[in-house]
Structure 1
Amino acid sequence: MTDARGVCARSATDLSVNAPYVRGWAEAKHAADRLAEQLHTLDLDALFPQLKADVNVFGEGIVRLGTIRPATAQALATLIMTGLTNEVLRRAAAEDDPPTATS
């Protein structure tokens, strides 16, 4: 599912023979459900009312966020950057800690 930027292809309105639509959609559904759970945990699920799984004409699963407000996009970017920063810090701390010897 790629456009010129490698992002999205048209939706699967014209189905193609031999494309693994069910597998692609199932992968997208799993990812959309995980995202919905996390958004719910953060009490942000109402900001993404159009979140859903879909599939393109090549059978690739896609997750649609729907139309969102600029503030919502900025909040999502901040959450992603916060998560990445925490992960980097966690890994750096793990590398700095010497392994403990057990007898």
Structure 2
Amino acid sequence: MTDRRGVIAKRAEELVPGIPYVRGWSRAHRSATTLADKLRTLGLDADFPGLKPDVNVDGDGLVHLGTIRPEAAQLLAQTLVTGLTLELAERLAAQRPPGS
């Protein structure tokens, strides 16, 4: 999916026989739908109007966030950090011995 610098391959503009584009697009569609549902729950769906699935030349699924406002990117980053912090806190609490 990425080159040695971690850059995503180009979008598939022309399809090549033998590459599983549908599989990659289907995976991207499921992921985009899941993300859209979570953004809707958070009230951020209007901030990501360009959210859509796609596929690259190698058949890898892609999820485009579209062009977003800097504030929307900041909100998404803060939401991810908060979620990861809560997840880490839950893991640490589960590792503590009972009664400590």
Could you say which residue in structure 2 is the equivalent of 1:26? 26
Paired with 2:84 and 2:7, the residues of 1 have a C-alpha distance of: 21
What is the count of residue pairs matched by the alignment?
98
Structure possessing the higher radius of gyration over alpha carbons? 1
The runs of at least 4 consecutive aligned structure 1 residues that moved more than 6 Å come to: none
CA pair 3-68 structure 1, distance change in 2 beyond 3 A? farther
Question: For 1:19, what is the secondary structure of its paired residue?
Answer: coil
Pair 1:89 & 2:99 matched:
no
Paired with 1:63 and 1:52, the residues of 2 have a C-alpha distance of: 6
Deviation of the 1:67 alpha carbon: 0.5
Deviation of the 1:6 alpha carbon: 1.5
Deviation of the 1:38 alpha carbon: 0.3
Give 5+ residue unaligned stretches, structure 1. Answer: 99-103
- Cα contact 1:24–1:60 (8 A) shared by 2: yes
Question: For 1:67, what is the secondary structure of its paired residue?
Answer: coil
* TM-score normalized by the length of structure 2: 0.91
Could you say which residue in structure 2 is the equivalent of 1:74? 74
| Cα displacement string for residues 36-78 of structure 1 (whole angstroms, at most 9, x for unaligned residues) | 0000001100000000000001000000000011111111111
Paired with 2:19 and 2:80, the residues of 1 have a C-alpha distance of: 32
Paired with 1:74 and 1:67, the residues of 2 have a C-alpha distance of: 13
* TM-score normalized by the length of structure 1: 0.89
Paired with 1:16 and 1:36, the residues of 2 have a C-alpha distance of: 30
Could you say which residue in structure 2 is the equivalent of 1:39? 39
Could you say which residue in structure 2 is the equivalent of 1:6? 6
Paired with 1:5 and 1:78, the residues of 2 have a C-alpha distance of: 26
Pair 1:16 & 2:39 matched:
no
